[in-house]
Amino acid sequence: MSQDSKKKSNLINALEFKTSTFSVPVLMLASDDMGLLEQLLAQKIKQAPEFFKNSPLVLDLQEINKQGFIVDIIALVDLIRKAGLILVGVRAGNVLQNKQSLDLGVPVYAAQGRESIVESQRLTKFQVETPPTIESDKPQEIKVTVPTTLITHPIRSGQRIYAAGDIVIMAQVSAGAEIIAEGNIHVYSTLRGRALAGVLGDIDARIFCFDLQAELISIAGNYKVSEDLGASVRNKPVQIYLKDKSLIIKDIVLHH
Amino acid sequence: MARVIVVTSGKGGVGKTTTSAAIAMGLAKRGHKTAVIDFDVGLRNLDLIMGCERRVVYDFVNVINEEATLNQALIRDKNCNLLYILPASQTRDKDALSQEGVGRVLDELKKDFKYIVCDSPAGIEKGAHLAMYFADDAFVVTNPEVSSVRDSDRMLGILSSKSRRAEQNEEPINEFLLLTRYSPERVKLGEMLSVDDVQDILSLHLLGVIPESKSVLNASNSGTPVILDEKSDAGQAYADIVARYLGEERPHRFIDDKKGFFRNLFGGK
Ligand SMILES: Nc1ncnc2c1ncn2[C@@H]1O[C@H](COP(=O)(O)OP(=O)(O)OP(=O)(O)O)[C@@H](O)[C@H]1O
Ligand SMILES: [Mg+2]
């Protein structure tokens, strides 16, 4: 091989994309008390300073969001960076948290689960509409529209789907499957698995299904298990919504 | 184009190996060069059902480890010269199989065979995963009882999310339901789910129903796939299944009663 052609082939190989799997520590938080978090983090790092020094870290918000805590992502990211850790991702954030993370240059990962099919691209593709006139003293209101997730194949036992907005499923949801949405859930077939709507606390979220045989239904954390579902609501099209903190199950088709 | 068929179930003991042997023989008898692979490393028994256990020299793991060539390991069937068996190793464990190695062996087989039937081990762990990973078609073997149906559903989820076709965003695996060990009398007594009940839960294309039959035990004792017992109900049921898979229309047989367990349980619709 001549010098020249060697150089050329080196140039061709100069850049290559590959996928690799790394193991990275994940920080799970279950409190919104910044002072406490700072203190606990410092304690942990003290136990193994070499391990944590410049260590990459993924921040998991699942627990925080599940418990309905409000955290300031910007402050949290700052706190982590000050502790000498390098934040390489935020996981299981809601739409707003994801946007804030991306603004800080931190990549966003969807919630983790067994065989979860997560619409991660959708999470990052939301549109933000700012009202045209903003009064400076009021906190800026951001309206966020998340596209609806459409699923046309059956959701089988063991599968888990998380949608950052509404989800429409055109096939059955098997027993042992789990549908989790920040918004509404529509199932145009039999719902045998679990359906959790409004998981981040939206009490106006609803569940609609063609044939209710669910193992569990939940809206904003208020749930009913299969045993609680009487014969009068089973095996037919119903909608489920929240009224004064209790789940109401009603026929979709209204009889006059 | 060669097609890779996985015979799978999730639950153990439902009739995967019986089915793999029968349909592989059926396809070969219909003139298609077919190979059947035992993925049940450590618990091999496909070779027993095929009656070739005394001719095993090399196995699937030897081929993957390049300790033997495919031609050295493939055993030609004694009843049909278009059928070859690739036996599993008795002495290794499932970790002896690697995705890269399985892919390599299947690619080599595809050059020479029309159908490659993969007999999956039970469970959803590594062996079962590798058996289904490269599949084009899946025969989901299910018994008419709740736990088997549930496991099949779980396996269908894995087929649609963890297979090569799913990972590479290709056309999904064709999934077919095979309901085996079906006994219309027991369905009538409410001891078993009916065909309708199972289809209602799985919503899957039914390729055929194989009745519970003594002929299956006789066939495995004599080391000949039951499909060769042309007078038996199970043999005929498997022949129908092969014909339907190849695109022929055949009316379903061996389903007597339609009234089912769930309908009895919930007092009808
Ligand atoms: N249609 C049938 N009628 C009667 N017995 C059957 C039938 N199908 C299978 N069997 C019996 O059920 C048992 C299990 O069958 P087989 O070995 O084919 O199942 P498998 O799914 O391969 O099991 P494993 O999960 O252990 O690999 C065997 O004893 C077999 O003879
Ligand atoms: Mg077997």
Query: What digits encode the pLDDT tens for the residues A188-247?
Result: 999 999 999 999 999 999 999 999 999 999 999 999 999 999 999 999 999 999 999 999
Q: Is the pLDDT of residue A74 over 80?
A: yes
How close A56 comes to chain B (CA, Å)? 27
Q: How far is the CA of B217 from the centre of ligand 1 (A)?
A: 9
% of residues, chain B, pLDDT over 70: 95
Report chain B's mean pLDDT, rounded to a whole number. 93
Q: For residue B174, what pLDDT is reported? A: 97
Classify the C-alpha dihedral B236-B240-B242-B243 as positive or negative: positive
A153, A157, A171 ranked by CB distance to B153: nearest? A157
CA A249 to chain centroid: 26
How close A17 comes to chain B (CA, Å)? 17
- Considering every ligand atom, which ligand is closest to the CA of B19? 1
User: Which is more confident, A111 or B229?
Assistant: B229
User: Which is more confident, B159 or A4?
Assistant: B159
The residue type at B146: V
Q: For residue A16, what pLDDT is reported? A: 65
Asked whether the beta carbons of residue A115 and residue B157 sit closer than 8 angstroms, the reply is yes
How close B252 comes to chain A (CA, Å)? 25
Confidence of residue B229 (pLDDT cuts 50, 70, 90): very high
Q: What is the interface pTM, i.e. ipTM, of the complex? A: 0.80
Q: For residue A78, what pLDDT is reported? A: 85
Interface of A with B in 92-151 (CB under 8 A): 115, 117
Helix ranges restricted to H, B195-232: 195-202, 214-222
- Considering every ligand atom, which ligand is closest to the CA of B18? 1
pTM score over 0.80: no
Residues B148-158: tens digit of each pLDDT = 999 999 999 99
Chain B residues touching A155 at Cβ < 8 A:
157
User: Which is more confident, A253 or B151?
Assistant: B151
Vertex A52: Cα angle to A62 and A48 (nearest 5): 110
Question: Looking at residues A110-137, what average pLDDT do you find?
Answer: 43
DSSP-based helix, strand, coil % in chain B, nearest 5 = 45, 15, 40
Q: For residue A255, what pLDDT is reported? A: 66
B150, B158, B203 ranked by CB distance to A176: nearest? B150
Question: Looking at residues B212-241, what average pLDDT do you find?
Answer: 96
Substitution target from B153, B161, B173, B193 for chain A, most A beta carbons within 10 A: B153
Chain A residues touching B172 at Cβ < 8 A:
153
Report chain A's mean pLDDT, rounded to a whole number. 79
Residues B173-222: tens digit of each pLDDT = 999 999 999 999 999 999 999 999 999 999 999 999 999 999 999 999 99
Asked whether the beta carbons of residue B154 and residue A115 sit closer than 8 angstroms, the reply is no
Q: For residue A125, what pLDDT is reported? A: 33
Q: Distance from first CA to last CA of chain B, Å, rounded?
A: 45
Question: Looking at residues A80-84, what average pLDDT do you find?
Answer: 84
Q: How far is the CA of B21 from the centre of ligand 2 (A)?
A: 10
Q: Which residue has the tokens 């070499």?
A: A50
Q: Is the pLDDT of residue A82 over 90?
A: no
Q: For residue A178, what pLDDT is reported? A: 95
Residues B8-60: tens digit of each pLDDT = 998 999 999 999 999 999 999 999 999 999 999 888 799 999 999 999 999 99
Q: Is the pLDDT of residue A3 over 60?
A: no
Q: Does residue B136's CB lie within 6 angstroms of at least one atom of ligand 1?
A: no
% of residues, chain A, pLDDT over 90: 40
DSSP codes joined into one string, B16-39: HHHHHHHHHHHHHHTT--EEEEE-
Q: Is the pLDDT of residue A9 over 60?
A: no
How close A243 comes to chain B (CA, Å)? 29
Q: For residue A75, what pLDDT is reported? A: 85
Confidence of residue A53 (pLDDT cuts 50, 70, 90): confident
The secondary structure of residue A173, as a DSSP letter, is B
Q: Which residue owns the Cα nearest ligand 1 atom 8?
A: B15
Q: For residue A17, what pLDDT is reported? A: 66
Sort A95 into a burial class: Cβ within 10 Å, 0-12 / 13-18 / 19+.
buried
Q: How far is the CA of B215 from the centre of ligand 1 (A)?
A: 12
B150, B161, B172 ranked by CB distance to A159: nearest? B161
Q: For residue A103, what pLDDT is reported? A: 83
Residues A131-182: tens digit of each pLDDT = 444 444 444 444 556 789 999 999 999 999 999 999 999 999 999 999 999 9
Q: Does A172 reach chain B within 8 Å, measured CB to CB?
A: yes
Six-digit token pair at B209? 């129903």
Q: Is the pLDDT of residue B264 over 60?
A: no
Q: Does B203 reach chain A within 8 Å, measured CB to CB?
A: yes
Residues B247-257: tens digit of each pLDDT = 999 999 998 75
Confidence of residue A36 (pLDDT cuts 50, 70, 90): confident
Q: Does residue B40's CB lie within 6 angstroms of at least one atom of ligand 1?
A: yes
Substitution target from A118, A151, A153, A157 for chain B, most B beta carbons within 10 A: A157
